[in-house]
Amino acid sequence: QVIAYSRRRYRILGETLDVAVGNCIDRLARLLQIPNAPSPGYNVEQLAKREPWGEPKIKGGDPKSLFFISQAVTPKLLESGEATPEDLCFSLQETAFAMLAEVTERALALTRARHLLLVGGVAC
C-alpha cells in the first residue's frame, strides 16, 4: 500500500488488488524452488542480477495484479522455454518495482510531500 497521513487521517493512495509485493516475490521463489535462506527476496534479487539488462518478459494483465505476474504467466513462460529463472526474477523486480515507483510518484505529487518513508521487508 501507498499511504499518506494528512489532516489526522491515513489515506490509501495506491494498493494492489490481490497480493502484497513481498508475497508475490515469495510465490515466485517457491515456483522456481529458490531457497529461503537468507530470504526469498534476496535470492530472487541475486538471480535477477545475472540477467543482462533487457526488456522484462512479464507483461500485460491488470497493472495492479501481482498474482497475475507471479502465478498466471510465469509457469507458462518456463514450460515453453521462453524464459529462464533469471529472466523471471529480473522481470518480476522490474515490473513490480516500476508499479510501486509510479504510484509513489503520483502520491508524492498529489500530497506535495517532501519526505517519503519506505517500510517493510520489501523496502529493506
For the chain, domain boundaries:
18-111
Q: Determine what percent of the chain is predicted with pLDDT higher than 90.
A: 8
How far, in Å, CA of 45 to CA of 94, rounded? Answer: 11
Superfamily per CATH, domain 18-111: ATPase, nucleotide binding domain (3.30.420.40)
- Beta-strand pair 9-14/2-6: antiparallel
Give me the residues paired with residue 14 across strands: 2
N-terminal to C-terminal alpha carbon distance within the chain? 15
Q: Does the pLDDT of residue 109 top 60, yes or no?
A: yes
The pLDDT tens digits of the residues spanning 38-74 come to 988 899 999 999 877 667 766 655 555 777 766 666 7
Question: What pLDDT digit, counting tens, does each position of 74-98 carry?
Answer: 777 888 888 888 888 888 888 888 8
